[in-house]
Chain A
Amino acid sequence: DAKTTQPTSMDCAEGRAANLPCNHSTISGNEYVYWYRQIHSQGPQYIIHGLKNNETNEMASLIITEDRKSSTLILPHATLRDTAVYYCIVRVSGFNAGNMLTFGGGTRLMVKP
């Protein structure tokens, strides 16, 4: 799986959009970009994933650059409950034996009132 680079921490004002960047310059053509978050003392939660097109769901939007070397997770209206560690992961789809979900350090997002 390709490595990802994320800022260690970010702050965001409540009600504003939170834009979390991720660099994955060595991503392969068949690798997807996945985002998870982990609220303190809970298990990680799937947020969104995409291959090359931008994606949106009820939780967030995922913007992937045309060259696929970076992406941005957007929480349109951050709330205090969005305070968590956000993980950007690139991996091929499917559940082959060698296709494990590998978590890096992530970005610690602090939403402030």
Chain B
Amino acid sequence: SQTIHQWPATLVQPVGSPLSLECTVEGTSNPNLYWYRQAAGRGLQLLFYSVGIGQISSEVPQNLSASRPQDRQFILSSKKLLLSDSGFYLCAWGDTANYGYTFGSGTRLTVV
């Protein structure tokens, strides 16, 4: 069966520090992968999506970047975090069984 892993679950980082969030998928090959962010009390915002290794599309300009070094690995990064980067970050993959999305458990990032 397909599973999606995200870590860490929670993270507290100082302003100006770097960030690396990792997402991996098991049980599927060549998945479409997505990074979403949810600010406190707000809806989900699509940040990046990837249809294959090394292929990244950005939906909004921001302080973040994404990379896909392997087929089932998707990484969200920042060189210098801002306070506004705080939020709940979710990785998702496109489930061809129903053409819906399966989400990971998320990482709650607090920038202090």
Using a Cβ cutoff of 8 Å, how many contacts connect chains A and B? 52
Contact A46 B105 (CB under 8 A): no
Chain B interface (Cβ within 8 Å of chain A)?
Answer: 32, 34, 43-44, 46, 49, 51, 57, 59, 88, 90, 92, 94-96, 98-106, 108
Chain A interface (Cβ within 8 Å of chain B)?
Answer: 32, 34, 36, 41-46, 49, 93-95, 97, 100-106
* B92 contacts across to A, CB distance below 8 A: 43, 101
* A42 contacts across to B, CB distance below 8 A: 105-106
* B34 contacts across to A, CB distance below 8 A: 100-101
* A94 contacts across to B, CB distance below 8 A: 99
Name the 5 nearest CB pairs between A and B, nearest first.
A43-B103, A103-B44, A46-B100, A93-B99, A95-B94
Contact B51 A95 (CB under 8 A): yes
Chain B residue with the shortest CB-CB distance to A35: B100
